[in-house]
A and B are shown apart, each in its own frame.
Chain A
Amino acid sequence: MKVRDLTELAARNLREAVLRNSLTTLGIGVGVASLVAILSLGVGLQQLANKRLTNSGLFNAVIVMSRQNFRGGFGRARGTEQADSTPPRPLDEDARKELAQIPGVVEVYPEVRFPTGIKFNDNTYPTVVAGVPQSSKGSGAYDGIQGSFFSGPDAQEAILQVELAKQLSNNPGSLIGQSVTLNYAERQALPSSSDGGISGGFSVVPHEEKLKIVGIISTEPTTGAGGFGQVRLIIPLDVAEKLQAAQANDLRSVLGSSGARPNFASLTVKVDDPSQVEAVEDNIKARGFGAFSLLDASKNLTLIFSVFDTLFGSFGGLALVVASLGIVNTLVMAILERRREIGILKALGASDGDVKKLFFTEAGCMGLLGGVIGVLLGWGIGRGINFGANVYLHRQNLPSIELTAVPIWMVIFAIAISIGVSLAAGLYPASRAAKLNPVEALRYE
């Protein structure tokens, strides 16, 4: 029998016992829906994590440190042995310019973070200040900001971390627009000694800088490789650099060979595309710098989510297996009911294969329909989870998120699985129907 005829006859047969077949199909739909809902949550969470991490700049960034500083600290990073043959280089302004020339690099900025005391309403609060580049505005870390990001790269403005803001005022929101004074240690270079001996020393003098509070954030954004203390005050990177604040690695610079020129603790090299990170990282290492990226962390994240998807997907799959038993039951019942019909079909020229294909097609139709219903239902459940999560986040004054995602591959996968499971469930009934003795079937009342 031709496929179109088989499909027409199968559809007709399914319509005959519409309630039973609908319930069976719905059973498959529920199984597929649970699978889709769980997978969509897994995929959604993975996408959310990847998006957040990508926006944070961790995946398109290479952290560069002087090789001396690098050893021990990040010695486990990928392929560090490879570049050890080249002489170590100081991480100074020349290095910054050189790294900016590497193909694929869009931005190179230093990590500037230093301890400070914040004066506000005659009280001083010790904390750590970090400079962030203007490009970090789009990182997603400031999505839930109360107030606004810096108006420009050299604006005398500050963003407070919410815990610090709470220390400063019982009503943190009222701080926006007010000023704080930064009390910090300024690094002032000393003139070279006349005897041509040690040069490049510096003195530390206390200094103050007034900044206008423009925003408050609840999280601490990434500000480089990290060094010490929790950053609770953020200022524009250009401003931070101009402050000439003494940093932890300054002492190392003095004792090192860089002379009067300050060395950076680390440089963050932003790459155009995460796929270029590995090449850029290797390039930097070949120039005598220590470098590492979080690509491996990304790969591990994908692995972890895959494990979770498989684990949760198995639970959804279990529901589908249970639903498939419904198909077996429905089709076996149909064989009993349609025994005589099978006999008639055989008497009219249907082969065993035709009968088998007919029952198979019926199972496949239920699978296809159940798959479509299941995908829609699963998508609906996903939207429900999204809605619930966003209502909660909204109440917590947090930005909306997409917690679930149903990509096209999942739709195809779910429908294919549904049809596959249904066909597998139809194997036994179809084979039983095909083997029916037509003479006995025709006698059946």
Chain B
Amino acid sequence: MSSENGAAVRAEHVAKHYQMGETLVRAVDDVSIVVQPGEFVALLGSSGSGKSTMMNLIAGLDRPSAGAIYAHGKNLAEMDSAELAKHRSQTIGMVFQAFNLLPRMTLAENVELPLRLAEVEREERGPRVSEAIERVHLSGRANHRPPELSGGEQQRVALARALVNKPAILLADEPTGNLDSKTGDEIMTLITEINRSGVTVLMVTHDQARAEKYARRMIFMRDGKVVSDGDRP
């Protein structure tokens, strides 16, 4: 249990149920997983398997109907909404399939946004934004806006934004879902580099081949339950 106590993420009998009319939808049903610091875990499953819901619960964007989720020892269920916001700001970095950049802001402004929310001093922001942009190899395009960038570049901006607050955990929801194969591989290479720098990565994907190539552990979900959890062969 000692290793579990120091886990980056520990989910214990987590459930998330929705009431849709007469029907109770069990999006996540009694899921228990442990992710150790520095791990690169792929959460796989078909559409509707509950993997994205699980990721939202770990991010603190949603609250479980039952069970408990710990992030670096802190129980998310005991946090109020402000504490959950702080958790998302300081512990978690998120990237999405749709990139979710603010189109009217420049690349640099998008990356600076989490620093504004975390109330980081202004003089500290510039170097951190530059460092994050450099890390995703987009230094020359800091003043461009998202519509002027390719899909791959936008996802790299999203990665820079997710990393600028130096999170311990990176949650990636289908990060290559909107990208072609080559660009997808470039993004995965970047995520692998980020993981090697010590950041725990939990990636939601339905692309098993890519998961096998980059992740070190794969968890399969079906109908809201974990059906398989193991290291890559």
The interface of chain A, by Cβ under 8 A from chain B, is 1-2, 5, 9, 12, 16, 340-341, 343-354, 437-439, 442
Contact = CB atoms under 8 A, between A and B. Distances in A.
Contact of A347 (B82, B90, B94): B94
B63 to A, nearest CB: 10
A437 B84 CA distance: 13
A354 B85 contact: yes
Contact of A353 (B82, B102, B114, B119): B82
Interface stretch (B54-62, B187-195, B215-223): B54-62
B82 to A, nearest CB: 5
10 contacts: A2-B119, A5-B119, A16-B104, A347-B61, A347-B96, A348-B117, A349-B88, A349-B114, A354-B85, A439-B62
A349 B82 contact: no
Contacts of A345: 113, 117
A348 B89 contact: yes
Contact of B88 (A9, A340, A348, A352): A348
Interface residues of B, number: 25
Nearest to A9: B116
Given A9-B116, A439-B61, A348 B161 contact: yes
A349 B118 contact: yes
Given A1-B119, A341-B102, A349-B85, 9 more contacts: A16-B104, A347-B61, A349-B89, A349-B90, A349-B117, A350-B89, A351-B81, A352-B82, A439-B61
Interface in B62-121: 62, 81-82, 85-86, 88-90, 94, 96, 100, 102, 104-105, 113-114, 116-119
Contacts of A344: 100, 102
A16 B102 CA distance: 12
A8 B85 CA distance: 21
Contacts of B176: none
B165 interface: yes
A346 B85 contact: yes
A348 B105 CA distance: 15
A381 B78 CA distance: 59
B116 A5 contact: yes
B119 A346 contact: no
Contact of B100 (A16, A340, A350, A354): A340
A349 B56 contact: no
Contacts of B86: 349, 351
Interface of B: 56, 59, 61-62, 81-82, 85-86, 88-90, 94, 96, 100, 102, 104-105, 113-114, 116-119, 161, 165
A349 B61 contact: no
A439 B27 CA distance: 14
Contacts of A351: 81-82, 85-86
The 5 closest A-B pairs by CB, nearest first: A349-B89, A351-B85, A349-B117, A5-B116, A349-B88
A350 B61 contact: no
Given A351-B82, A353-B82, A354-B117, A346 B161 contact: no
Nearest to A6: B116
Contacts of A352: 81-82, 85
A2 B121 CA distance: 10
A89 B56 CA distance: 97
A29 B106 CA distance: 32
A439 B52 CA distance: 10
Contacts of B85: 346, 349-352, 354
A348 B101 CA distance: 11
B88 to A, nearest CB: 5
Given A1-B116, A2-B119, A9-B116, A346 B82 contact: no
Nearest to B165: A349
Contacts of A5: 116, 119
A439 B58 CA distance: 12
B121 to A, nearest CB: 9
A182 B56 CA distance: 104
B61 A438 contact: yes
Nearest to B83: A351
A349 B87 CA distance: 7
A12 B61 contact: no
A9 B119 CA distance: 14
A273 B100 CA distance: 71
Contacts of A439: 56, 61-62
Nearest to B99: A344
Given A439-B62, A442-B96, A350 B104 contact: no
B19 to A, nearest CB: 15
A12 B117 contact: no
Contacts of B118: 349
Contacts of B61: 346-347, 438-439, 442
Contacts of B116: 1-2, 5, 9
Given A1-B119, A2-B119, A351-B81, A346 B88 contact: yes
Contacts of B117: 1, 345, 348-350, 354
Contacts of A16: 104
Contacts of B88: 346-349
A350 B100 CA distance: 15
Nearest to B100: A344
A200 B113 CA distance: 100
A349 B113 CA distance: 9
Nearest to B96: A442
A219 to B, nearest CB: 66
A348 B104 contact: no
A156 to B, nearest CB: 82
Contacts of B102: 341, 344
A230 B2 CA distance: 109
A9 B102 CA distance: 12
B59 to A, nearest CB: 7
A374 B14 CA distance: 56
A439 B100 CA distance: 13
Contacts of B90: 349
A12, A344, A348, A351 — most chain B CB neighbours (10 Å) = A348
Contacts of B81: 351-352
A343 B101 CA distance: 11
